[in-house]
Chains A and B, each alone.
Chain A
Amino acid sequence: EPEVTQTPSHQVTQMGQEVILRCVPISNHLYFYWYRQILGQKVEFLVSFYNNEISEKSEIFDDQFSVERPDGSNFTLKIRSTKLEDSAMYFCASTQKVRRMYTDTQYFGPGTRLTVL
């Protein structure tokens, strides 16, 4: 079965450094997402991306965050200057079809654990 992949599985960085988290969505999917889960807390939506642009972002997704689809397969999340509170598990997700009242199943990747020291 096709799956979403993410690299790296674990990233350790110093506060203030830039990190790039990478995702390869399922090949025929058109909608891409980033979520995060701080340890012990709920999974939170960060951003959705469709047709090479951000379709929606949350309050968490401030100017420190950016997303990109640099080629036909990768989908990246960049954090420009990491803070301690950015430590979390970051999940990439993709879905094939979203209509006004209908959504296909969202497929999630295994996550990247980001630790900011």
Chain B
Amino acid sequence: KQEVTQIPAALSVPEGENLVLNCSFTDSAIYNLQWFRQDPGKGLTSLLLIQSSQREQTSGRLNASLDKSSGRSTLYIAASQPGDSATYLCAVRPASGTYKYIFGTGTRLKVLA
């Protein structure tokens, strides 16, 4: 059964720091992986989607990498800003004919001004 874990659970950094959020999954057979942002009491906003054939995706200050064989993905945030404060979730779509995503536990990020 696919399990998705995110480390750390919470992170507090000063503004301007570069940071890395980690996501690991137990079964490397996935079709793709998405990183989401969730603001308190709000929905999920998709940040980056990496298909299984891709190694990384970039959007602005965000870069996500995928190492399927080791069951890992990282989300790199460059030059963090207070507006980046949110919970970051990763989710995988298992390669078992399923349509669903399995979500990780999330990393709660706080960027201090």
Contact: B46 with A106, CB < 8 Å?
A: yes
Contact: B104 with A42, CB < 8 Å?
A: yes
In chain A, positions 84-114 with a C-beta closer than 8 Å to chain B are: 91, 93, 98, 100-111, 113
Contact: B34 with A106, CB < 8 Å?
A: yes
Interface membership of B51, Cβ < 8 A: yes
With a cutoff of 8 Å between Cβ atoms, the chain A residues found around residue B89 in the complex are 43
Contact: B101 with A44, CB < 8 Å?
A: no
With a cutoff of 8 Å between Cβ atoms, the chain A residues found around residue B104 in the complex are 42
Which applies to chain A's interface (DSSP): helix, strand, loop or mixed?
strand
Binds A, one of B11-19, B61-69, B71-79, B90-98: B90-98
| B 38-73 to A, binary, CB cutoff 8 A, 1 in contact else 0 | 000111111001011000000000000000000000
Chain B contact residue count (CB 8 A cutoff): 27
In chain A, positions 4-57 with a C-beta closer than 8 Å to chain B are: 4, 6, 31, 33, 35, 42-45, 48, 50, 55-56
Interface size band for A: 20 to 34
Interface membership of B112, Cβ < 8 A: no
Contact: A56 with B100, CB < 8 Å?
A: yes
Distance in Å: Cβ of A53 to nearest Cβ of chain B: 12
**Extra contacts besides A31-B99, A56-B100, A107-B46 (9): CB < 8 Å:** A6-B43, A42-B103, A42-B105, A42-B106, A43-B103, A56-B99, A91-B43, A101-B95, A103-B31
Interface residues of B (CB under 8 A from A): 31-32, 34, 36, 41-46, 49, 51-52, 89, 91, 93, 95, 97-106
